[in-house]
């Protein structure tokens, strides 16, 4: 994040409170489990050992509670919001560009943290984070966080790229070949913030103070950068497994990515590494949130507590390349290793601009371009307009 990230983001959160609806009181006690819990999650976030038997934090939960975990994966925050609007789910692992929308839209309910006994073990920087806390009320339990890294092919880049320019500007790469058709970008409107973050560093005269709070002129500059990028992009990705195949078989050599893809590719002995370049990076701090009409609230609360146990937190961080929200998970985990949290970017917290829903009433500018514009304009960019 940038200089005082929590305070800046808090102001954005407060933009929703004026019209904040009254929610019913959260559950006061946990009753018998309903036998099932339905979770909308990012790919790779909830594993039962089917991909790799070493990574399974579902089976023990099901045996202990009798609550069967049913998972619906979603590749973007917009897809998660759409699924929660449809209903029928109990929980969602929402990033910051979805969480405030879900709160403002009455799609999620306040969490009674007294029913999550391990709440106080959560990293203090995240307990009251503004992407899940409104007017002092918590609407979720932090799950994991990390950065959108620059993933690159080490046979093309003998040294780590210093800048995001390798995916934003047409150029010749160190192997002597052009980057056109060999780079990718994220298929989601929130990627406009990546362009804004790049411009913050390279065009300071634009006066961008926060990549999620853009005036019309700043916003148009970001769109123009993305229109130029459109000419060199091989694919706009949102499915991590398709991106893995593109790096393995389709000649893609650089892209924004999650550490999840980096880990899987390196596990397959591919020449892949990643870096947070000089401009910093966007990132995600994800929160497990409960639907306002969760059909299985007792099992949902049992999962919320399970989700922050140190074993799960460490295993998930090892699998996804993320950072635990429970810092005790950083030591003594056989899969993560005692250096795993540092490797996954624990020290980068202040360099990450965490995903957040852009709103009109913003803290750093008099007025900012709201998210619905980001959605329609990014679709136009992808369409070559």
pLDDT digits (tens, 9 = 90+) for 137-165: 999 999 999 999 999 999 999 999 999 99
15-19, 361-365, 377-381, range with the lowest pLDDT: 15-19
Residue ranges and CATH numbers for the domains of the chain are 5-146+283-354 (3.40.190.10), 147-280+358-382 (3.40.190.10)
Confidence tier at 379 by pLDDT (50, 70, 90): very high
pLDDT of 1 over the 70 cut: no
- pLDDT at position 157 is 98
- pLDDT at position 24 is 64
pLDDT of 340 over the 90 cut: yes
User: Over the chain, what is the mean pLDDT?
Assistant: 92
Mean pLDDT of 209-213: 96
pLDDT of 43 over the 70 cut: yes
CA distance 303 to 53: 21
The candidate with the shortest Cα–Cα distance to 33, out of 1, 2, 6, 64, is 64
Look up residue 158 and give its two tokens: 């003998």
pLDDT digits (tens, 9 = 90+) for 318-336: 999 999 999 999 999 999 9
pLDDT digits (tens, 9 = 90+) for 357-369: 999 999 899 899 9
Confidence tier at 27 by pLDDT (50, 70, 90): confident
pLDDT of 2 over the 80 cut: no
Confidence tier at 11 by pLDDT (50, 70, 90): very low
pLDDT of 8 over the 70 cut: no
Mean pLDDT of 102-124: 97
- pLDDT at position 261 is 93
- pLDDT at position 242 is 96
pLDDT digits (tens, 9 = 90+) for 276-300: 999 999 999 999 999 999 999 999 9
- pLDDT at position 20 is 46
- pLDDT at position 15 is 39
Mean pLDDT of 83-110: 96
The more confidently predicted of residues 144 and 13 is: 144
pLDDT of 16 over the 90 cut: no
Confidence tier at 5 by pLDDT (50, 70, 90): very low
- pLDDT at position 23 is 56
């Amino acid at each position: 994040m940038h200089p005082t990230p929590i305070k800046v983001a808090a102001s954005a959160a407060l933009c929703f409170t004026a019209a904040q609806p009254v929610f019913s009181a959260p559950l006061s006690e946990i009753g018998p489990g309903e036998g099932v819990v339905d979770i909308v999650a990012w790919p790779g976030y909830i594993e039962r050992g089917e991909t790799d038997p070493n990574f399974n934090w579902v089976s023990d939960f099901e045996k202990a509670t009798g609550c069967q975990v049913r998972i619906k994966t979603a590749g973007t925050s917009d897809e998660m919001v759409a699924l929660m609007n449809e209903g029928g789910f109990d929980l969602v692992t929402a990033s910051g560009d979805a969480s405030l929308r879900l709160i403002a839209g009455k799609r999620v309910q306040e969490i009674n943290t007294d029913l999550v006994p391990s709440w106080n073990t959560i990293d203090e920087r995240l307990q009251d984070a503004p992407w899940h806390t409104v007017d002092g009320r918590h609407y979720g339990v932090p799950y994991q966080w990390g950065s959108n890294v620059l993933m690159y092919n080490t046979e093309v880049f003998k040294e780590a790229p210093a800048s995001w320019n390798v995916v934003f500007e047409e150029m010749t790469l160190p192997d002597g070949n052009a980057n056109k058709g060999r780079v990718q970008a994220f298929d989601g409107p929130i990627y406009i913030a990546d362009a804004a973050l790049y411009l913050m560093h390279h065009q300071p005269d634009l006066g961008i103070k926060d990549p999620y709070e853009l005036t019309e002129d700043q916003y148009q500059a970001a769109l123009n950068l993305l229109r130029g990028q459109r000419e060199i992009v091989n694919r706009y990705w949102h499915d991590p497994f398709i991106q893995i195949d593109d790096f393995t078989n389709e000649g893609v050599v650089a892209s924004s990515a999650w550490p999840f893809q980096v880990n899987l590719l390196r596990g397959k002995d591919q020449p892949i590494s990643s870096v947070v370049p000089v401009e910093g990076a966007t990132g995600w701090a994800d929160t497990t949130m409960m639907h306002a009409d969760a059909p299985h609230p007792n099992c949902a609360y049992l999962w919320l507590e399970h989700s922050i146990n140190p074993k799960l937190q460490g295993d998930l961080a090892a699998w996804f390349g993320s950072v635990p929200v429970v810092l005790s998970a950083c030591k003594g985990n056989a899969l993560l290793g005692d250096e795993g949290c540092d490797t996954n970017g624990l020290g980068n917290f202040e360099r990450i601009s965490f995903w957040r829903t852009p709103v009109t009433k913003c803290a750093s500018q008099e007025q900012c371009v709201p998210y619905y514009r980001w959605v329609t304009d990014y679709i136009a960019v992808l369409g070559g307009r």
